[in-house]
Structure 1
């Protein structure tokens, strides 16, 4: 390799050809989100590998761009309530569903890191457009750059990477739409004659739920829900008539089986697939295939031009059918109107995803005067930018009429982030009522401390955390690590995790199938990435350890309250955190318990009948709800 050359390598190609250079200590950067691929690179590099740790600095840049990125729609030259924009992951601004912000920060950090010529470097990229833009920027800085794409033509003519990427994403767009169309037709066929339409009349609320085949008891009214707690039973006892809008978890249980469970329930239930036909679906598939947002300017953040990454993000959007999934919910309001259903309000779980926005828009357009309320059912990270409507969204009436939050601390956060205080109401922590009765405390200090490792649903996050733990865990024989995999993670992925990490070479890490509440009474600390179990650990007075591993963005749900947790973003940091945990005495455990007792009431308000009533009856009358007739829109 020539002195000072930067090789920009397509990380999706076989990596073995770079093994010798990696083992020789050539610095390498990984610009992507695939923790398995990063681990493979580290294994190729061996002990002499020199990975440039970008994760923490990328996180700092995300925080720096956070406020401006929430106002992403300032670039638009179209109505704020444009359906295809609001149905997109780009408009959602969630790092889980759109990689635009993360890619911008990776590009920015890589440019700064490689600005000075410190010798040769290998840069592995997942997104070819990011690699192309990095190459251009480094050439402008005087660096020598070579591309390694696995294609001799593209290596010789890197400007062809752009057209090749466009063709690749277009193929994905066509393929994903064909898959979605087949899936929709199959669901419509299974629906036929299986689910009776809800009866007409007045309802207190349309309540959104996830249906998994087990949460609607056959022949009996629904009393509880995993997300809504005891609200269904309270509504029935108080005479509030509910209609359930059920999203079927067909990636967990077969669609037909879930429909059978819904048919056996006496509750009024509607599924979104019953609200539109084949014609509307075909129209959505075609118009999203050709969609691109109209803009008034190039895409910049803090004065930096990321136009090419924005264009690629739009093409990535078109490559998946998620806009069509969201648009399905737009038709729910019109379907209810046709059925003669007159709900007083819509109550949905709040993450401000595209389907939620489409549901609110459709309800407001079809049902005059309906109140659209949302419930914050879980703690969330500062980086869940979708939770904060932009100023333009607020002015266009796209936010919920009320946002019901589980505690005073969350009301303060939303108000600080710009949500009008009259839209916020503290009700009850429906999913966290069990925290007020926890009786477990920190594990007794001794030679066999246990650490619960909580697996997130996202397999890349889990691999990142376990990769760091594998590097330092063997150094702490006095600690036992129990891995609790997410219950809804696909079995195939669980199998791959077991194969890669739960090996005879790692006897210090073992899997557990016990429920989390029981495990919290057996451990002294909880290690997590994006799981909300960290709040249960805080309530139990346990040490909480956030692991923000490479390569993805950190999504710590305790980042609003950094004093309540320890944090590690690299192997040395995790080593220091675990050593410090071992050094803690009973005094620190007592301090944690006292802090938890003080914070818990502010985070989660206990469930009371008055708090449950607030879901159906606002504490103070709202000004005119944002709903209206179709003609008003």
Structure 2
């Protein structure tokens, strides 16, 4: 009997749209549907979904059969490891050809952050899709590949057009998405202007005119206004750089905090603190706002179309159109103009900020450098090698506005920064100011402060990223639909402070963890985390931790330095790994091992070194 020829079918989600915030966000293709009629998998067939929407993927699985899902396991991360440096080099080269430095440094593509751009993730999807197709062809397997993003679908179609064994079903094209971005871009810019004018009026009314340029040596300290930062009697609590203002004042500087021009909501409170807090909107004018409104975007004509051997021209086009649908460039242009107006007059000596290499930070350094003012960035979060915004491509340090001094939190960050292209002479290891409690714990040899707790009580620490959160919750719901009741385990879910959620809408029974992280840890012997500092902090407190790595998202794992001290699991191994840890009654990592690793990322804060740098 003649063997039926394997069928490779690539289809896309249609009828939806790419959702993003008006300022940042890589975007997710929401809504829409997948036409699966006639695509039901037969015996030996497989399917694969490439996209971030875990619920859409689950719906596809219900039709095609979850047992037919092509296993990825850690393939995406292996691909990302291979493409990471070529991608950084691609962005570095793209920046060299840009004439408008502010437009380029304001862009999501130059930022490289997972929260601002999906470009690197989509490049990895592209590589995975091509590899899986080629593997299916070589193994004579039938495959249905569902591609969530329409731009990725068109790119994959272009890259595989010469292969006759692949059938691309008709997509919806890109014209609709370009038109939507163009309309949204105009509307969002106009709305941005109206909001900024109104916010400026309110803040200037609340702050009055009772401030003048500093006459004594002064440090400008960036602070993000939030209600928990407001203290009684006119004080300020800085959770990111605690007590740094006192250190600088003890050296002899005055300290004036400042914030992004687009930080509305606390006008009255900031107005009451105008003697030491300057919202940059106070330095805006109607003409500067209108000038920012008409800011141009970065040029896509000067950018090469390849990362390594992958043609990504459609994905570059996607970035440009998404950028055109946002008002981000307006925001960063007015930031640069207002900061220039503030720093142009007065006795400013330093500008200090928490370092993440965001667009506003690059513009801050550019502005200060033009005015002859020194800058210092302070690394305040542990790093992942996939936190691409922190790292540079080949030759990028020559034109990237880096701070004069970059304070790092420990030996690991120091090494990763150096390996990532930051010049050695700019780096200064001062220890962790934000996580000083963990650093002090480690240096004093008291890494296990908490009493033991049962491993059957499991704390789930959710990250800021909503898509990673959804993947983790979906993995738990799939592995433990009854919330672990049948297995005699219980999940305590702790939402990120900036991402509250309804404990009754998780997809499985769970209890809400206390707001205090330390209180939450007291009741739980095992902590599951993804893409946050929850894992390292839990281990430092003497708890077992489990690192979850979603198969379709890049895990910004800030616990890489811990290696095998923290076990890992994927979607496919989630249930087996969790039950294995619970039933093994495995002890937390030895105190001496935890101390050695914790010292690598949370070194004790060296106050004398910081004082010496700022006195120089």
What TM-score do the two structures reach when normalised by structure 2? 0.86
Give the CA deviation at 1:230.
1.7
8 Å CA contact 2:407, 2:427 repeated in 1: yes
Matched, 1:594 2:592: yes
1:393 aligns with 2:396: yes
Shift of 1:334: 2.1
Deviates more, 1:431-440 or 1:67-76: 431-440
Is 1:124 the counterpart of 2:124 in the alignment?
Answer: no
Tell me, in whole angstroms, the C-alpha distance in 2 between the residues paired with 1:375 and 1:181. 32
Number of equivalenced pairs: 583
Alignment of 1:198-347 (within 5 A): 198-200=211-213, 201-222=215-236, 224-247=237-260, 255-256=264-265, 258-265=266-273, 267-288=275-296, 291-295=298-302, 298-338=304-344, 340-347=345-352
Q: Is the 8 A contact 1:525 1:543 kept in 2?
A: yes
Q: Is the 8 Å Cα contact of residues 280 and 342 (structure 2) preserved in structure 1?
A: no
**What SS does structure 1 have at the residue aligned with 2:428?**
strand
* Counterpart residue number, 1:175: 187
What SS does the corresponding residue of 1:531 show, helix, strand or coil? coil
Pairwise CA RMSD: 2.9
Residue 157 (structure 1) aligns with: none
**1:470-499 Cα shifts (integer Å, max 9, x gaps):** 12235672322110011111x5xx24x742
Distance 2:13 2:101 in 1: 36
Aligned residues of 2:8 and 2:133 also touching (Cα < 8 A): no
Per the TM alignment, residue 389 of structure 1 is displaced from its structure 2 partner at its CA by 3.2
Match of 1:627 in 2: none
Write the distance in 1 (CA, Å) between the matches of 2:320 and 2:34.
Answer: 32
1:238 and 1:182 map into 2 onto residues whose CA distance is 42
Measured at CA, do residues 249 and 272 of structure 1 come closer, stay the same or move farther in structure 2, by a change above 3 Å? closer
Partner SS state of residue 382, structure 1: coil
**Distance in 2 between residues matched to 1:479 and 1:175, nearest whole Å:** 50
Question: Map of 1:72-91 to 2, 5 A cutoff?
Answer: 72-75=91-94, 78=97, 82-91=101-110
Take 2:198 and 2:262, find their aligned partners in 1: how far apart are those partners?
15
Aligned 8 A contact 1:23 1:49 in 2: no
Residue pair 2:10, 2:167 contacting (<8 A) in 1 also:
yes
Counterpart contact for 1:330–1:359, Cα < 8 Å: yes
Q: What residue ranges of structure 1 are gaps of 5+ in the alignment?
A: 155-160, 622-633
- Within a 5 Å distance, the mapping from 1:125-144 to structure 2 comes to 125-144=147-166
Q: Answer yes or no: is 1:10 the counterpart of 2:13.
A: yes
Secondary structure in 2 matching 1:145: strand
In the superposition, relative to structure 1, how do residues 56 and 180 fare at CA in structure 2: closer, same or farther (>3 Å)? Answer: farther
Residue from 117, 123, 131 that aligns with 1:98? 117
Match of 1:624 in 2: none
C-alpha distance in structure 2 between counterparts of 1:594 and 1:558, whole Å: 17
Cα deviation, 1:336-388, whole Å, max 9, x if unaligned, reads 245x32211110111101111111112222x22x1111000111211111102
Cα 1:40–1:243 change in 2 (3 A) is farther
CA distance 1:518–1:478, shift in 2 (3 Å): same
SS in 2 for 1:344: strand
CA distances 1:532-574 after superposition (whole Å, capped 9, x unpaired): 1222112112222111114322211112442332111223x22
SS in 2 for 1:227: coil
Indicate if the aligned counterparts of 2:130 and 2:156 stay in contact, CA closer than 8 A: yes
Q: Is the 1:216–1:265 Cα contact (8 Å) retained in structure 2?
A: no
After superposition, the Cα gap between the structure-2 partners of 1:175 and 1:24, relative to the gap in structure 1 and judged at 3 Å, is farther
Q: Does structure 1 retain, via aligned residues, the 8 Å contact 2:85–2:393?
A: no
Q: In the TM superposition, what are the counterparts of 1:13-162 in structure 2 within 5 Å?
A: 14-15=32-33, 17-18=35-36, 21=39, 27-42=46-61, 44-45=62-63, 48=66, 50-54=68-72, 56-71=74-89, 72-75=91-94, 78=97, 82-115=101-134, 116-117=136-137, 118=140, 120-149=142-171, 154=172, 161-162=173-174
- For 2:424, the equivalent position in structure 1 comes to 421
Q: 1:218 to 1:511 in 2, by over 3 A?
A: closer
Cα distance in structure 2, aligned partners of 1:181 and 1:31: 37
2:474 paired with 1:467: yes
- Residue 357 in 1 paired to residue 369 in 2? no
Check conservation: 1:336, 1:342, Cα contact below 8 A. no
8 A contact 1:547–1:568 mirrored in 2? yes
Query: TM-score, normalized by length of structure 1?
Result: 0.84
Tell me what 2:20 maps to: none
Deviation at 1:19, TM superposition (A): 7.5
Q: What is the alpha-carbon distance in structure 2 between the residues aligned to residue 375 and residue 100 of structure 1?
A: 27
Partner deviation per Cα, 1:73-118 (whole Å, 9 max, x = no partner): 3245635872211111111122321111111121121122123345
Which of the residues 471, 476, 483 maps onto 2:493?
483
Determine helix, strand or coil for the equivalent of 2:223.
Answer: strand
Task: Note if contact 1:213-1:261 (Cα within 8 Å) is conserved in structure 2.
Answer: no
Q: Which moved more, 1:235-244 or 1:57-66?
A: 235-244
**SS of the residue aligned with 1:210?**
coil
Residue 163 of structure 1 deviates from its aligned partner by 3.4
Contiguous gaps of at least 5 residues in structure 2: 17-30
